[in-house]
Amino acid sequence: MYPLIRQLLFLLPAELSHELTFKGLDYASQLRLLSLFVPKPRRQKCQVMGLEFDNPVGLAAGLDKNGEHIRALSDVGFGFIEVGTVTPRAQLGNPQPRMFRLTRSDALINRMGFNNHGVDALVKNVQACDYQGVLGINIGKNKDTPLEGALDDYLICMKKVYSLASYITINISSPNTPGLRELQSKSYLMELLTGLKAKQLELLQATGKNTPLVLKVAPDLNEEEVQNMASAVLESGMDGLITTNTSVDKSLVAGEKYADEQGGLSGKPIFDGSLKVQQQFHRLLKDKVPIIAAGGIDSAERAQQRLDHGASLVQLYTGFIYQGPGLIAEIADQLAG
């Protein structure tokens, strides 16, 4: 059924079809209908960062920015769910249109710009949900916060979501907030990570709960940048790494309609670059820091390839949009053997 549904949804503007899809998923979840249409993945318990996952196939941040659809996403079979990116204050993001489908390449370009209702709204949504699985919460800085004040924005979000999150992802790799990727550079990164780890220790002592911190990186890093970031990850004691966010390399989709649009490229074309960065980090981190793979994963074979090169878990985003919910069970079942 999904190819037909997708064909109809793709006739609509991307953000409208996203909204309608989630309304349908929420409604079907409330009526307990999703199990009739979506294959349930085989349980494949795995432990990463001290957390137990039902299966290694998760949802990447970006689809449910405000934590409004966690129950429905759980019902389609994800082994873990990451919501956000959320910022201290609500912001509208960039002007529409800001999401573009490149259907010949099974890809998307988005320049959403961290549009979200703010961290307090997300906290209320998570508190109202009875989801018991692994929940990642992805945090960022507001667009108008200068880089020198970025740590304060991340600390505000971290403190508010700490008790609710299974893990917290530090997003410094989106290309859609001006200057954000500069936080990946030597001049900012170590200060940011050490500040966050200090707050993590403080919150651990106050609450008795250890919430792992995960760093999400870009696929467009050169070898020197990877080396610098890997050193910072090890020295600061980060608990995990997500490789990778979206790419700014539009040569990967040259000739496609919308290929010249500004924003981050996701989907099949970025798989190789994302894998290369993952391999570089894995060689440097030497299994001391677990890796979550994201970027261009749209089949069981590609998921297995990422695990073969050092990842412990995988996340879907664009592949989920193009292939549908059945992709979750397809990947999880094959990885389970």
Active site residues: 174
DSSP 255: T
Cβ burial of 38 (10 Å; 0-12, 13-18, 19+) is buried
Cβ burial of 288 (10 Å; 0-12, 13-18, 19+) is exposed
Secondary element (H or E) of residue 143? none
* Rounded distance between C-alpha atoms, residue 290 and residue 29, angstroms: 32
Phi, psi for 190 (deg, rounded to 5)? -65, -40
CB distance 253 to 273 below 8 Å: no
CA distances from 244 to 70, 166, 174, 239, 316 (A): 22, 20, 10, 16, 11
* Rounded distance between C-alpha atoms, residue 233 and residue 93, angstroms: 29
Pairing of strands 57-59, 80-86: parallel
Per-residue DSSP letters for 12-60?
Answer: S-HHHHHHHHHHHHHHHHHTT-HHHHSPPPPP--EEETTEEESSSEEEP
CB distance 15 to 99 below 8 Å: yes
CB distance 45 to 68 below 8 Å: no
Mapped onto helix, strand or coil, the DSSP state of residue 265 is: strand
Q: Which residues pair with 150 in a beta bridge?
A: none
Q: Which residues pair with 316 in a beta bridge?
A: 59
Structure-token pair, residue 334 = 């094959």
